[in-house]
Chain A
Amino acid sequence: MVEWTDFERATIQDIFSKIDYDVVGPAALSRCLVVYPWTQRYFGGFGNLYNAAAIISNPMVANHGKVVLRGLERAVKNMDNIKETYAELSVLHSEKLHVDPDNFRLLADCLTVVVAAQMGGAFTGDVQAAFQKFLAVVVSSLGRQYH
Chain B
Amino acid sequence: MLSKREKEVIAEIWERLTPVAEDIGSDALLRMFASYPGTKTYFSHLDISSGSSHLLLHGKKIVLAIAEGAKDISQLTVTLAPLQTLHAYQLRIDPTNFKLFSHCMLVTLACHMGDDFTPVIHAAMDKFLSAFAAVLAEKYR
A residues adjacent to B (C-beta < 8 A): 30-31, 34-35, 52, 55-56, 109, 112-114, 116-121, 123, 125-126, 128-129, 132
B117 at the interface (CB under 8 A from A): yes
Q: Which chain B residue has the least Cβ–Cβ distance from A32?
A: B119
Question: Which residues of chain A are near B126, meaning CB under 8 Å?
Answer: 35
Question: Do residues A128 and B35 form an inter-chain contact, with CB atoms below 8 A?
Answer: yes
Contact of B119 among A35, A109, A119, A120 (CB under 8 A): A35
Interface Cβ pair total, 8 Å cutoff: 57
- In Å, the complex CA distance between A30 and B122 comes to 12
- In Å, the complex CA distance between A56 and B114 comes to 17
Some 19 contacts from A to B, beta carbons below 8 A apart, are A30-B119, A31-B122, A34-B119, A34-B120, A34-B123, A52-B123, A113-B107, A113-B110, A113-B117, A114-B110, A117-B110, A117-B117, A119-B111, A120-B112, A125-B27, A125-B30, A125-B33, A128-B107, A129-B34
Report the interface size for chain B: residues with CB under 8 A from the other chain: 22
Question: Do residues A125 and B111 form an inter-chain contact, with CB atoms below 8 A?
Answer: no
B48-88 to A contact mask, C-beta < 8 Å, 1/0: 00000000000000000000000000000000000000000
Question: Which residues of chain B are near A128, meaning CB under 8 Å?
Answer: 31, 34-35, 104, 107
Most central of A56, A112, A117, A126 by chain B CB within 10 Å: A117
B17 at the interface (CB under 8 A from A): no
B95-106 to A contact mask, C-beta < 8 Å, 1/0: 000000001101
Question: Do residues A125 and B35 form an inter-chain contact, with CB atoms below 8 A?
Answer: yes
Q: Which chain A residue has the least Cβ–Cβ distance from B106?
A: A113
Contacts A34-B123, A52-B120, A117-B115 given; does A129 touch B35 at CB 8 Å: yes
Question: Which residues of chain A are near B123, meaning CB under 8 Å?
Answer: 34-35, 52
